């Protein structure tokens, strides 16, 4: 019986060892991927706020606008930035996915219309998040109040998300405004609402974004002066809090510094801090906590426990088989040894013993 039980334990142990390896090296890589369809019907049915595929940022900033009876010029206002993402599976190719995203920046207290809109088509690797250029549809970039000026920049680095299994190191992160990738440096491990996150910081140096015609009166000219040509200057400090298992950005913050410079005069264009809204962060934590737990179970927990339990069961089974064999051999030797003593009561006495 022990021999049969030993073989059963060996079989189960080997099965668990094999399962642990299969989960980590076969199942996990197939699950830890970004889908070409996003948001999925499951995401939509969850009815999160904001909805799946939407990120809302807000904050106070000094913005160069002209609304209603207000003259053209900088005004301190509450700004809301809303990003929406939609996957395009027909444009995906190979291990890459294609998503289109739109960011509307608005001043709700002043106008329902956005003061700026940015529309982008993004091709990126479904595991590393690194931007690519070989999807069926080419990446592009549009900006302006009506997003009419189209560019095709040579995109680099990660953008919408970090890699699955993000490490505490530096990554190249794309900045759409300047059309270049800059280093996002790991600075700390923190927690947001109980969820472990890596904090990254990206500093974008002061660069020129081009030129724009502006009222000359705001840049040292007379009230009736003609328009002046201003240089658009841009700098930014971007902070990102990333859940490492999924690579999802849980919270983002930008300290933007966009300025118009002409005739030695500098006027704010958009200067202020925008960050993910509290509700956006809360929803991200809820969704990504569950995703991270599932991925960690596949990558670490199941392989580890499967290996440990499988090894112990295999060794236990081998021991039972060995001990069972040893017992059988000992029993066989005992049967071959003959009787331990001879009963002489039935043996006739010799003649010398008869007196």
Q: How many other CB atoms are there within 10 angstroms of residue 131's CB atom?
A: 22
Higher-pLDDT residue of 15, 108 = 108
Work out the end-to-end distance of the chain between its first and last CA atoms, rounded to an integer number of angstroms: 60
Strands (E), 3-134: 54-65, 73-87, 96-106, 114-125
pLDDT the model gives residue 345: 47
Integer Cα distance of 75 and 56 in angstroms: 22
- Each residue of 302-320: pLDDT tens digit? 888 777 787 777 777 777 7
The percent of residues in the chain predicted with pLDDT above 70, rounded, is 87
- Cα separation, 138 vs 100, in Å, equals 11
CB burial class (10 A; 0-12, 13-18, 19+) of residue 277? buried
Return the higher-pLDDT residue of 252 and 109: 252
- Tell whether the model's pLDDT for residue 348 goes beyond 90: no
Q: What is the pLDDT of residues 333-342, one digit of tens each?
A: 555 555 554 4
Q: Bridge-partner residues for 131, per DSSP?
A: 124
For residue range 194-221, what is the model confidence (pLDDT) as tens digits? 999 999 999 999 999 999 888 888 888 8
pLDDT greater than 80 at residue 346: no
Token code pair at residue 28: 């996990």
């Amino acid at each position: 019986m022990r021999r049969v039980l030993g073989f059963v334990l060996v079989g189960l142990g080997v099965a668990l060892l094999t399962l642990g390896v299969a989960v980590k090296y076969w199942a996990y890589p197939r699950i830890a991927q970004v889908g070409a369809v996003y948001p999925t019907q499951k995401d939509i049915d969850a009815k999160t706020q904001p909805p799946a595929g939407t990120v809302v940022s807000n904050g106070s900033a000094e913005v160069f606008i002209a609304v209603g009876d207000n003259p053209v010029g900088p005004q301190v206002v509450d700004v809301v930035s809303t990003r929406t993402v939609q996957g395009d599976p027909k444009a995906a190719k190979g291990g890459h996915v294609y998503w289109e995203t739109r960011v509307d920046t608005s001043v709700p207290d002043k106008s329902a219309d956005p003061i700026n809109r940015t529309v982008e088509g993004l091709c990126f690797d479904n595991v590393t998040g690194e931007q690519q250029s070989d999807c069926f549809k080419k990446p592009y970039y549009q900006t302006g109040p009506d997003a009419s000026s189209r560019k095709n920049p040579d995109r680099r680095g990660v953008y919408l998300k970090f890699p699955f299994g993000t490490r505490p190191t530096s990554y190249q992160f794309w900045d759409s405004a300047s059309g270049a990738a800059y280093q996002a440096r790991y600075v700390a491990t923190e927690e947001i609402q109980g969820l472990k996150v890596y904090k990254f910081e990206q500093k974008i140096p002061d660069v020129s974004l081009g030129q724009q015609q502006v009222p000359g009166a705001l840049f040292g000219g007379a009230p009736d002066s003609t328009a002046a040509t201003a240089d658009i200057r841009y700098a930014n400090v971007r902070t990102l809090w990333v859940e490492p298992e999924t690579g999802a950005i849980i919270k983002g913050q930008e300290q933007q510094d966009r300025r118009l410079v002409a005739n030695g005069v500098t006027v704010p264009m958009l200067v202020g801090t925008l960050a993910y809204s509290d509700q956006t962060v809360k929803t991200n934590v809820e969704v990504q906590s569950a995703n991270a737990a599932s991925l960690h179970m596949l990558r670490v927990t199941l392989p580890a426990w499967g290996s440990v339990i499988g090894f112990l069961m295999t060794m236990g089974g081998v021991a039972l088989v060995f001990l069972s064999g040893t017992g059988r051999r000992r029993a066989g030797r005992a049967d071959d040894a003959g009787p331990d003593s001879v009963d002489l009561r039935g043996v006739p006495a010799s003649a010398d013993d008869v007196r």
